[in-house]
Structure 1
């Protein structure tokens, strides 16, 4: 029963739509009706500016981190349970029960899970992610490259095989959720972000 409880808590934590809540509180509108329509930190940034976008990102990161941290209380010596709790928090963000299973792309929540499990890997990915955003202004491209890099770094750091399987699964999750962005990137129509204000440009 404890395993089931930990899994359920992970999913429910992931399902909390912080971007939707924040935009409704600040702008009194539904984030799904604006920008990309995505319930995530990037779209929140487009609507509310950099500081609120960062806040939403930190809250989404916190969901994944907390899901794994709760699992550690009961199963600190069982990495597979920790991974499953983390995966379910990402599933919750992507397919939240509170929003009829239509959520975000899971990038920030995945980061929270990884911070709790493999902080050395996520530090490198963050540097790559930030560099790509600063040079191209494409958040989607940065997220896709970061996801693809994750399994490679797990291999380089020679971490446990269970983490490699987890990394591959997260990469598939993130890249799958970015298929529309990939199509727009190839077509040259993907939205860019400007860190100097809250407007986006094509």
Structure 2
């Protein structure tokens, strides 16, 4: 029961749409602007760095809180399941009819709790890809894909690898529209002016 309660609570926490709520404070429905996504990147592009940073911190915090709740149960791998539940909540939030974000910020909060070292490497992958391609979405996908590779390199056991492969798959799936826009030459680049 403890594990189930932690997973349900983590999903509901993950479902809190910080980007949407912060944009509402600015009188904006973020779903009607930019990419239409409720995540921190779209909030940043649409409303500026302060709202974007607040959305980023809120989304990361809910991921970190979920891992904490999982650990409080004292059960093995409950932190992984709770962290995954928070990311699923962010991607498919019950409060917004299951139309949510792309798990990168929430996943960062989860990963910081699980392994700061692997998180640092993933952030470096993200930064390198964005610096060379100017696509935040491509950097996000590459960072997500790097996580299972890094878990393997650091010798984590199979539950961690399964967890990492699952979140990488979700991240890639949620970014399919971005990848299609990149292929079509229509994706927003860092430093480009808003159209």
TM bracket (short chain): over 0.9
Q: Which runs of no fewer than 5 residues in structure 2 stay unpaired?
A: none
Structure 1 unpaired stretches of 5+: none
What is residue 76 of structure 2 aligned with on the other side?
Answer: 78
Match of 1:121 among 105, 118, 121: 118
CA shift for structure 1 position 29: 1.5
1:13 CA displacement: 0.6
| CA displacement at 1:180 relative to structure 2 | 0.7
Show the 5 A alignment for 1:47-196: 47-75=46-74, 78-79=76-77, 81-194=78-191
1:6 counterpart residue number: 6
Q: CA RMSD in A?
A: 1.4
Q: Secondary structure at the match of 1:193?
A: coil
**Distance in 2 between residues matched to 1:19 and 1:192, nearest whole Å:** 20
Count of aligned pairs between the two proteins:
195
Q: What residue number does 2:38 align with?
A: 39
Using the TM superposition, name which of 126-135 and 112-121 deviates more. 126-135
1:119-171 deviations in Å (ceiling 9; x for gaps):
21111111121222233321101001111111111111111221111110000
State the SS of the aligned residue for 1:192.
Answer: coil
Runs ≥4 residues deviating over 3 A: none
Shift of 1:93: 0.3
Q: Structure 1 length normalisation: TM-score?
A: 0.92
**CA–CA separation in structure 2 for the residues paired with 1:29 and 1:189:** 24
Partner Cα separation in structure 2 for residue 99 and residue 56 of structure 1: 16
Between 1:58-67 and 1:123-132, the stretch displaced more is 123-132
The SS at the match of 2:73 is helix
